[in-house]
């Protein structure tokens, strides 16, 4: 990795951790969602440092454009029905902190065990092209199954969220 990429990586990951903490601790739910959008955009920056431009673009378009918009819509719907802004509190901070810190130390210990992780090959080909042929040749059946899943979840969400006409 070149020096510039290294610097961008450190800045992006520092901001990433800070905004992830924002998702976990901000009192206003809407601010939490905005922090999540920041997390997703910074993840796209991390993908860029890994030479994956296409995945970074998809991350911004689908995640930041789609998922965050969906969640904001849900918040606005529920907020409008309540008539007051949603605040959220944390409970079981001790339990959650102990479990997540234990997990974090275990993961970092496991990562440090593997010294072979210190080299990296990188992509010696056009990644976007390889992704396209992978989707259409090797992974074509999961790809079709995925489209079926999206259709099913769309219909399911519609059926669940629809107002009941019988009431």
Q: Within 47-106, which residues bind other proteins (CB under 8 A)?
A: 47, 50-52, 54-55, 58-59, 62-63, 66-67, 70-71, 73-75, 77-78, 81-82, 86, 88-93, 95-97, 99-101, 103-104
Nearest in space to 5 (alpha carbons), one of 131, 120, 111: 120
Q: Quick one: which of 7, 11, 21, 140 contacts other proteins (CB under 8 A)?
A: 21
- Unique residue bearing structure tokens 């995945």: 55
**Under rule CB under 8 A, residue 135 binds other proteins:** yes
Q: Quick one: which of 4, 84, 137, 160 contacts other proteins (CB under 8 A)?
A: 160
**How wide is the angle at C-alpha 59 spanned by C-alphas 55 and 60, nearest 5°?**
125
**Under rule CB under 8 A, residue 8 binds other proteins:** no
**Under rule CB under 8 A, residue 2 binds other proteins:** no
**Under rule CB under 8 A, residue 119 binds other proteins:** yes
**Under rule CB under 8 A, residue 41 binds other proteins:** no
Whole-number Å distance between alpha carbons of 73 and 62: 15
**Under rule CB under 8 A, residue 5 binds other proteins:** no
- The length of the chain in residues reads 167
- Unique residue bearing structure tokens 């951790």: 17
Structure tokens at 39: 């997390």
């Amino acid at each position: 990795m070149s020096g510039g990429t290294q610097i961008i990586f450190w800045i992006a990951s520092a901001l990433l951790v800070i905004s992830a903490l924002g998702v976990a601790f901000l009192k206003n739910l809407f601010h939490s969602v905005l922090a999540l959008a920041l997390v997703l955009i910074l993840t796209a920056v991390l993908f860029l440092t890994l030479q994956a431009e296409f995945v970074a673009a998809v991350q911004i378009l689908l995640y930041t454009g789609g998922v965050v918009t969906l969640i904001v819509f849900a918040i606005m719907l529920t907020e409008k029905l309540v008539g007051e802004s949603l605040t959220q509190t944390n409970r079981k901070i001790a339990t959650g902190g102990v479990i997540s810190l234990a997990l974090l130390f275990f993961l970092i210990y496991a990562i440090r065990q593997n010294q072979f992780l210190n080299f990296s090959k990188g992509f010696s080909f056009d990644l976007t092209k390889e992704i396209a042929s992978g989707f259409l040749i090797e992974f074509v059946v999961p790809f079709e199954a995925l489209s079926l899943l999206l259709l099913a979840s769309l219909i399911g969400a519609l059926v669940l969220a629809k107002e009941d006409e019988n009431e």
